[in-house]
Structure 1
Amino acid sequence: MTRAPMQAVILSAGIGSRLLPLTREIPKCLVEVGGRSILDHQLDALHAAGVAEATIVGGYRYRQIGAHLARSRPPLPVRLVFNPFWSVASSIGSVWMARDRLDAPFCLVNGDTVFAADLLAAAVRAPGEGTGLLVEPLAAPEPDDMLVTIANGQVCAVAKDLPYDVATHRSLGVIVSAGGDDYVRALESVIARPGGLDAFHHAVIAELAGYAPVRAIVAGEGAWQEIDRPDDIAAWTGRAR
């Protein structure tokens, strides 16, 4: 049976306060890295990976994202969705706004990370059914890392506060699914709990891993950089030369 085309969901609703003053007048995904916006880098990498279309969930200054897309002519069809709860909910709220796209094969990406095209393509094309999380081995933990415990190729735990003696990997913020309703059911379970709106979207993976296999997709060669602070922009520019 032929699998449905892969689509992407890009979470780009947050204000990016740690990038101030760069984000005072523009959304974080439009901050330039190496002369191009984070969003343009992502759309090009997703297109190169064979992704058929993308849904961008915007919030802070989301109309600027729409104007940018109209000017830039993305390499694949794009739908922009507004998350009106961006200022009162964590990233899980943006996932919720795109839930109608999450029963088909999808690749979910944080909107603040730049990837080399080959790294993202390898994740999208990684064999396996169900849901997978893109990770890399944990060498020198950083304070903002989303930590992951992997055993026998499966995700066992995901949280920022995992003890370092338990964590084996860090998440790159990319989730790949072959489709089905498991991910959406886990999303509903997490967001419906008291305090669920404050959860990072990785809480959905932690929930799902409690009762279904979540495969670890270990990143191969290829640069990536989370753009959280101005220094991160220079770090990517240096690696890209």
Structure 2
Amino acid sequence: MRVIILAAGLGSRLRPHTDVVPKCLVKLGGKPLIQYQLEALHQAGINTADIAICSGYLSEKLEYLNIKLFKNEIYDKSNMVESLFCGESHMQEGEDLLICYSDIVYEPQLIKSLINTQGEVVVSADLDWLKLWSHRMDNPLDDAETFKTDNGRICELGEKPDSYDDIEAQFVGLIKVSGSRISQFIDFYRDLKQKSVYQEPSVQSMYMTSLLSALIANDWVVVPSYHHGGWVEVDTLDDLKTYQSMYDQRRLDGLVRLPSLE
């Protein structure tokens, strides 16, 4: 199992915290977000040597982790897919690839479930997403994205929903690509760069959900790994304040169990 953590972005919605550190080093409960991730990965049986971070903004702040770093030199002009393939040399044919957003905190069980679910591409999907979104905002539908399946395969995700009926679950920011398809995964990305068949103006600005949608449109077997909660996304200052308040009141374990609360 190879792991790439995407941590290149500016994290502008978490300023002023991200004025001095990248988003993944913002602290919740006194500990950087990425430390929770690394602990969850280790508890799921993944070795540090198999983990890499695709960094960008304030990349040097991550050197203390002693984890393999790849830098997206155009982090301020690009998005997650560009960052992911900065770490292409870390991808290994025959070894499953786990792709992790860096602004989420999750329990080890989410990783274990992802590993144990079969598919060319497996996407972690929260069936209880509304519980989390209701803590984060007054109208969850304003921020949520579509997630639809057909015969056990994901047929749509990442679009603006018209109603809650368009949302069977919510994409978490954890993806597994089967080791048997790594070479084809890399080739698919390179082909996208040549053909420009995606939503964004350039592949540099391509979102991860757009890449997944392109795979789906090209008949890749993309399936969900369902779970009920067990994670949080720290995307904005309001998110951080909400979770920190819940942590201080020892209520955060109602959303995700952090090591300090177990």
TM-score range for the pair, normalised by the shorter chain length:
0.7 to 0.9
Structure 2 residue 27 is the aligned partner of structure 1 residue 18: no
Question: For residue 89 of structure 1, what is the amino acid of its counterpart?
Answer: S
Partner of 2:226: 218
Structure 2 residue 114 is the aligned partner of structure 1 residue 123: yes
> CA separation of 1:187/1:84 partners in 2, compared to 1, >3 Å: closer, same or farther?
same
How far is 1:162 from its partner? Answer: 4.4
Partner of 2:86: 97
The answer as to whether partners of 1:133 and 1:215 remain within 8 angstroms in 2 is yes
Q: Deviations over 1:96-123 (max 9, x none)?
A: 1112333431110001100012222222
Structure 2's unaligned 5+ residue stretches are 134-139, 254-260
Structure 2 residue 184 is the aligned partner of structure 1 residue 182: yes
Question: For residue 120 of structure 2, what is the amino acid of its counterpart?
Answer: G
Moved more, 197-206 or 54-63: 197-206
The answer as to whether partners of 1:58 and 1:82 remain within 8 angstroms in 2 is yes
Structure 2 residue 112 is the aligned partner of structure 1 residue 107: no
Structure with the larger helix share: 2
Question: For residue 54 of structure 1, what is the amino acid of its counterpart?
Answer: I
Q: 1:151-190 residue pairs with structure 2 within 5 A?
A: 151-164=150-163, 165-179=165-179, 180=181, 181-190=183-192
- Tell me how far apart the structure 2 counterparts of residues 218 and 189 of structure 1 sit (CA, whole Å): 30
Compute the TM-score of the two structures, normalised by the length of structure 1. Answer: 0.85
- Tell me how far apart the structure 2 counterparts of residues 166 and 229 of structure 1 sit (CA, whole Å): 25
Percent identity among equivalent residues?
23
How far is 1:178 from its partner? Answer: 2.0
Q: 1:130-141 residue pairs with structure 2 within 5 A?
A: 130-137=120-127, 139=130, 141=140
How far is 1:44 from its partner? Answer: 0.9
The answer as to whether partners of 2:28 and 2:243 remain within 8 angstroms in 1 is no
What is the SS of the residue equivalent to 2:117?
Answer: coil
The answer as to whether partners of 1:32 and 1:38 remain within 8 angstroms in 2 is yes
> CA separation of 1:57/1:146 partners in 2, compared to 1, >3 Å: closer, same or farther?
farther
How far is 1:191 from its partner? Answer: 4.0
Q: Deviations over 1:21-43 (max 9, x none)?
A: 11111111101111111111111
What is the SS of the residue equivalent to 2:160?
Answer: coil
